[in-house]
Amino acid sequence: MKIIIFGILTVLAVVMLLFFNRKYRNLVFLGYFACVIVVSAFYNLRLIRNIVPFYRPFSQTYYQPEFLEKGEYPDSLLPLLLQDKIVYTKNDPMDFEEAMRLGKDWHYGYYHVNNAVWYLELLDARVVQEDGMNGSMPTEEQIRTDFENMGPANDMFRYTFLCSKHFDEPGNYFSHFWYYSDHLSEIDVYLNPHADLDGADIASSEELVLLWDSQEGSKEEENIYIMTKAYYEENVKQ
């Protein structure tokens, strides 16, 4: 269509330039460029949103309200939620030999616990790892009623190589890419946005808890769950 439109415009311009007096040349150019501008603007209005997505960042944050619907970039919300807060996590590392014994990939031994904790530190959260939280998990009923699925966290973990303390292969971009994008299926970020018994939520509370799935056997996918400490103490703690 654009070739036809511009073909017609070009032919018209050329005919006018050839047959009109030179003193009308400026008018021909003016008309030609005015048409080009209009066609271009119209083309943009019709098609540009099909090519790249656009957002209006009224909130002044990276995370856009539209991300929630599509489950995009949940990790771009985490810096706002977690920065400068005390974040309690489990402390259940596993070395790569034990991981392989259980039928997991050897990468699990390097990445489990470490990537999450180092990522939290990168976000300037004050991480407190507690053995007492090991084995704790929200129930399926709690996940269904109290938590919201913000979307996949695979990319979030894929890029934790930036703060990895592993040298050589386990620490590099390609190992992370393979593990989180090719090897694992989807892992999600869940937030509990509701107010706890103290009246605080994850936005206002200074103490949060971040748990990951306690996977038995060969399963490696670990969703992460973020809640207030008060909610954890009341509902999740074992």
Residues at the interface with another protein (CB under 8 A): 2-3, 5-7, 9-10, 13-14, 17-18, 25-26, 29-30, 32-34, 36-37, 39-41, 43-44, 47-48, 50-65, 68, 73, 75-76, 79-80, 121-124, 148, 155, 159, 161-165, 167-168, 171-174, 193, 201, 203
Shortest CB 201 distance to another protein, Å: 8
Task: Provide the 3-class DSSP secondary structure of residue 219.
Answer: coil
64 vs 142 by CB, closer to another protein: 64
118 vs 133 by CB, closer to another protein: 118
Task: Provide the 3-class DSSP secondary structure of residue 86.
Answer: strand
Which residue's structure tokens are 């990468």?
Answer: 107
d(CA 212, CA 111): 13
d(CA 211, CA 143): 12
Shortest CB 91 distance to another protein, Å: 22
Longest dimension (CA), the chain: 91
Distances (CA, A) of 60 to 53, 81, 123, 156: 17, 15, 18, 21
d(CA 217, CA 213): 12
44 vs 214 by CB, closer to another protein: 44
Q: Are strands 224-228 and 188-191 parallel, antiparallel or unpaired?
A: parallel
164 vs 223 by CB, closer to another protein: 164
For 31, the token pair is 């008309």
Shortest CB 112 distance to another protein, Å: 18
Shortest CB 205 distance to another protein, Å: 12
- DSSP state, residue 206: S
d(CA 216, CA 155): 24
113 vs 133 by CB, closer to another protein: 113
Shortest CB 162 distance to another protein, Å: 5
Q: Which amino acid is at 191?
A: L
76 vs 235 by CB, closer to another protein: 76
Shortest CB 36 distance to another protein, Å: 5
